[in-house]
Structure 1
């Protein structure tokens, strides 16, 4: 019986942690990002790569907020899904979680082609915090996991090139102010999921862009890519060329052969077909291929060291098996950003499906065999023809709406009157977060809130900054203007805007906190501590209840205040801030670690050690962070317990 390709709604029930509230403090500092190299290392890189590595790195995460309100208590929760299915494949997509393809099932063999995470557990891996592992994720914006990892995308049914149904996902990338879309469809009888991607630049200026499709697969695989060399990048932050498959006497194409976490960016010759595969010992597995615009291919491994194993457990359920990542991107490495010309677009077609090929043996022969099997399963010419057939469909207006994303794209389209066929950002998607900015756009003024509450989200693009500069200079306007000026690099003017607002503002703590960050960045740590302490006092007097937004603000500001006070040796003041945190906040793992640090600063090392012995889990521990190990070494000479060991690099010699 032939099953016609269908798209339907489904609900997954998984053990899942709650995402919780976003951090209401604007991220004025760029968060720690591991994918950076010393500028001196660029001298030995190919010219194009060196130029793109240095091109338009992020200055901050603004206007995106940090998502750090999640925990590690998992309960059965329902997650909305969209299922695309034909008689060969079944793809399960999570529109509310970045459009992640959570599962790709090959029905004739019953094989799951991806690593399917049995839980939903956010962790601090995205540029703005919350991220989860498994499946296929779509990373746009800048080096790292997208801020949309745990955010909703718009989704709708659209006619596919072959006349069937296609699932369209689209959103507005706020880091770079770019709209993008992802079209997924399964031609009848096909063993491959087709994915058409388009990024558009509607601006009259060039914009840096970035894309990596990130595919989680079981780590008991051999990873194949058509290359004899790769660029190796580890947590030592050095980028160097290494041979493939082996260097230092170890075949690195087997993920479990690497002792430490590492990236391998494959050097694929121009003209050679772009693909990457992960095959088990019997030669079964997944292959990803694409048209040539999607140039790069990568393998990420966690490594077999204690830290890598701990992260694997952290992101899923212990005992459920580990994973590695195979990836495909616009540039050779993830350290690069690509120039997208004014009023232009980038598009390509990807395909995901099963591959049966011999994984063992001499490298060149293995690659030749895999390429022959790939060409038989999905000829390169057929993929190119599918891309050509999809391109006109990319502008087709969506039909039935299946999920809603954010209202930020609608706000931008209203402002500029852009025409973006195929990706409608309708006014009915505007929400509470966009309301004050819509008022600024239409009335020329930024409205004061009707009730006392933490300030809303800030927009920082040049056009919004210009509107704030010409709007009446109310305290809230000056607050948002200062944030936009800070993002633009005009720090002195940002400080002046915040100081002006202090004279009339009914709510002082958001401004004092911004000024404290400015003091820290300029090296004035004593004044920063003063301002942080004053800000926390003001917040404690102003907060109206124990609701989610006030609790999130108190936790975020309290954490920064304690750290600022400890940095200048004011332990008694730091302890006073600690006492005024909400009791539930003090019980969170992050704050248990802060408590241990506070006890250590007070000279109470044994009590700090007792905090460790009692046990805690820092839900938002950052990838590559070593704070737990450093504090442990301050309080004891004992070896770091395995459940606290998240170290990702070799010990320093």
Structure 2
């Protein structure tokens, strides 16, 4: 029987999905709560190279991106755009509107999906900039955490594949680090493995910090074991400690089984020197999934939710009741996800990954001898996909990496085209077409062309749009004629550069042209950052009151102003003012879960404990609850000594 020729075709997939909603229209000036950091004392005890990369170039803000916090938890049947890659062995479904996520990897001979394929699309606050969802294979670039592109489109096109046939190229401009990247996906005819050729570029004249982890969600059951060629690992938990331990036994449990622990945790493997780079998740029958790569992708990781109530609650929160659980196996450029790796001027990182099924002897896989279990698994991987084939596929892919797509399947943002227009970057293989420049980029194209940012785009009720903040753009703003919009954006760029004093002066100049909630809000956060609680609270109150009195202010902007102002007012001991702001908000905003929680905080500050308890008893859901956020449990503890109800149990660490 003749083999099926590999095909690439556009398609669609219908799932129950919660709408992403609008972006938060305010520039994110302050750092977000980051559960993935350790203090200097811990870093001092780490290996020198690891400590150096952990302490290098942490993000201070999410600029220039905007936060994605406009989603809810109401799911409706929604048609999603897909690209399908298929041969006679595998069917791969990719979501180009969601970071190029591989949604499913269906293995035809065994009739099973090799990945954990989420039956719903439910955003939650796990990405660097908010919205993220679980399942499949995701491409994490930028900085420690899930990429800002988790719920954003990427460009997609078709290029020739090594050995003939076609290859799907995904590419975009990652804005946190200003690094373009590409992922080339192809299925050789008759192959059980999906190949991914990955390239991250630095087109600049300075070194950039690079972060990359390929994150693979795999089915999790009581018999699931994760194996990697390592005898030690680094444990990182949400108590923010990094500890080295022997694999697999630690603290009385075999940690290679994802359910052998109560709390969510990361296990970063110390891959044996010179060993093949791979990780596998196999069930009680020895069946499962394996990922392997060329040597540059050195790190391997297991993330577990744990068997405790908080981890189980998060799993249900990300999908629907009755759905099997999952764990994550990952591969990255560094040993841990707390690190960023330097990429020199004009340089690039390139590697190849392969994803596919693996079958092994269950007695060997689950034997008490870890060394024997990993050796057996590696032999089975070698039989299924020899390391030499991976290296050969990488070498064969390299000449194709620079080929421009001949067929476009999907387009994304115009930010890459803007950067190419500014700097004239030559990026063969990843064209950032001027045709993708849209309304968000047009004012900045005008600045490039004329040296002036068009002030007529400013409107009293509309927040300023997004913009770039890198040094070349800041210099252009500094040279441009002043104006309220120009000064606002200049202040944001100066704040991003940590020139806080100049940022304040720019926002004050913007405000001098007339009262506006947008520079007022920036000044409020600047005061909060400096520890001036009373001034921060007053400026925040004035900003939100002004927005409430200004016709045409969009509801998402009002909500964003209020969710910052109310905590600042409470922190300054001004509960009555917090109540005044809250009560003026539109009813639909006040009824959202985030604002029901703020209502509880105000009631507590006013001494109305019974009323605050009644809000909890009535029930609410904070759709954008942040990973590691303990506000729900902390607020409950202020109300009562009663056990925390299951619906509010999201704690990810021991008390």
TM-score range, shorter chain: over 0.9
Counterpart of 2:510 in structure 1 is 501
- Please give the alpha-carbon distance, in whole angstroms, between the structure 2 residues aligned to 1:340 and 1:499: 38
SS, match of residue 622 in structure 1:
coil
Q: TM-score, normalised by structure 2?
A: 0.98
> d(CA) in 1 for partners of 2:373 and 2:637?
47
Q: Which secondary structure state, in structure 2, belongs to the residue aligned with residue 27 of structure 1?
A: coil
Aligned with residue 466 of structure 1, among 475, 479, 482:
475
1:532 match? 540
Question: 3-state DSSP class of the match of 1:256?
Answer: coil
Alignment of 1:450-461 (within 5 A): 450=457, 451-452=459-460, 453-461=462-470
- Alpha-carbon distance in structure 1 between the residues aligned to 2:184 and 2:254: 36
3-state DSSP of counterpart to 1:157: strand
Deviation at 1:539, TM superposition (A): 0.9
| CA distance in 2 between partners of 1:558 and 1:239 (Å) | 37
Aligned to 1:360: 366
Q: Secondary structure at the match of 2:16?
A: strand
Pairing 1:229–2:232 present: yes
1:397 corresponds to which of 404, 411, 414? 404
Residue aligning to 1:65: 66
Distance in 1 of aligned mates of 2:456 and 2:182 = 34
The correspondence for 2:518, drawn from 510, 515, 539, is 510
Give runs of aligned pairs for residues 332-371 of structure 1, distance below 5 A. 332-358=335-361, 359-361=365-367, 362-371=369-378
| Aligned 1:36-75 pairs, distance under 5 A | 36-75=37-76
- RMSD of Structure 2 on Structure 1 (CA): 0.9
Q: What is the DSSP-based 3-state SS (H/G/I as helix, E as strand, rest coil) of the residue aligned with 1:606? A: helix
Output the CA distance in 2 between the equivalents of 1:616 and 1:449.
Answer: 42
Aligned to 1:430: 437
The residue that corresponds to 1:646 in the other structure is 650
**Runs in 1 of length 4+ with deviation above 3 angstroms?**
449-452
Report the Cα distance in structure 2 between the residues aligned to 1:591 and 1:418, rounded to whole angstroms.
Answer: 45
Cα displacement (A) at 1:626 = 0.4
1:387-445 per-position Cα deviation (integer Å, ceiling 9, x unaligned): 00101100001011111110000000011111100000000000011011111111101
Name the stretch that deviates more: 365-374 or 133-142. 365-374
Look up the SS of the partner of 1:313 in the other structure. helix
In structure 2, distance between residues paired with 1:240 and 1:529: 40
Verify: 1:555 aligned to 2:556, yes or no. no
1:632 aligned residue: 636
Give deviations 1:560-597, integer Å, cap 9, x for gaps: 11111111111111111111111111111101111111
Given the alignment of the two structures, is residue 93 of structure 1 paired with residue 97 of structure 2, yes or no?
A: no
TM-score (norm 1): 0.98
Equivalent-residue separation in structure 1 for 2:301 and 2:493 (angstroms): 35
Matched residue, 2:211: 210
* Count of aligned residue pairs for this structure pair: 646
Q: Judge conservation of contact 2:228–2:280 (CA < 8 Å) in 1.
A: yes
Partner of 1:612: 616
Q: Give the CA deviation at 1:89.
A: 0.6
CA contact (8 A) 1:228 1:245 kept: yes
Alpha-carbon distance, 1:157 to partner: 0.8
1:123-144 per-residue CA deviation (whole Å, 9 max, x = no partner) reads 0000000000000000000000
Structure 2 counterpart SS, 1:255: coil
Whole-angstrom CA distance in 1 between matches of 2:95 and 2:254: 35
- Please show how residues 36-185 of structure 1 align to structure 2 within 5 Å: 36-185=37-186
Q: Helix, strand or coil for the counterpart of 1:30?
A: coil
Partner in structure 2 of residue 198 of structure 1: 199
Deviation at residue 365 of structure 1 after TM alignment: 1.0
Contact 2:231/2:272 (8 A) holds in 1 = no
Q: Following TM superposition, by how much is the alpha carbon of 1:249 offset from its aligned partner in structure 2, in angstroms? A: 2.2
- Partners of 1:634 and 1:247 lie apart in 2 by 35
Deviation of the 1:543 alpha carbon: 3.4
Does the 8 Å CA contact 1:26/1:458 hold for their aligned counterparts? no
Deviations 1:149-173 (A, max 9, x none): 0000000011101111100000000
Shift of 1:378: 0.8
Q: Residue 441 of structure 2 contacts residue 467 of structure 2 at CA under 8 Å; is this kept in 1?
A: no
The aligned residue for residue 330 of structure 1 is: 333
User: What displacement does 1:270 show?
Assistant: 2.2
* Cα distance between partner residues in 2 of 1:31 and 1:399: 41
SS in 2 for 1:433: coil
Query: Retained in 1: the 8 A contact 2:139–2:214?
Result: yes
* 1:477 matches 2:495: no
Q: CA–CA distance in 2 between the matches of 1:6 and 1:587?
A: 48
- Alignment counterpart, residue 298 of structure 2, candidates 289, 295, 298: 295
Q: Pick from 576, 595, 619: which aligns with 1:572?
A: 576
Q: Pick one of 418, 421, 424 that aligns with 1:414.
A: 421
Task: Determine the C-alpha separation between the residues in 1 that align with 2:467 and 2:543.
Answer: 19
SS of the equivalent of 2:401 reads helix
C-alpha deviations, 1:327-352, integer Å up to 9, x for none? 00000000000000000100000000
Shift of the alpha carbon at 1:62? Answer: 0.3
Once the two structures are TM-superposed, the CA of residue 247 in structure 1 deviates from its matched residue by 1.0
Give the conservation status (yes or no) of the 8 Å contact 1:458–1:483. no
Q: Any gaps of 5 or more consecutive residues in structure 1?
A: none
Q: Higher mean Cα deviation, 38-47 or 210-219?
A: 38-47
Q: Distance in 2 between matches of 1:120 and 1:168?
A: 24
Aligned residue in 2 for 1:581:
585
SS at match of 1:316: coil
Counterpart CA distance in 2 for 1:249 and 1:631 is 33
Taking the aligned partners of 1:508 and 1:490, their CA distance within structure 2 comes to 22
Alignment check: 8 A CA contact 2:193 2:354 kept: yes
How much has 1:44 moved relative to structure 2? 1.8
Deviations 1:525-580 (A, max 9, x none): 111111111111211122316xxxx1110000011111111111111111111111
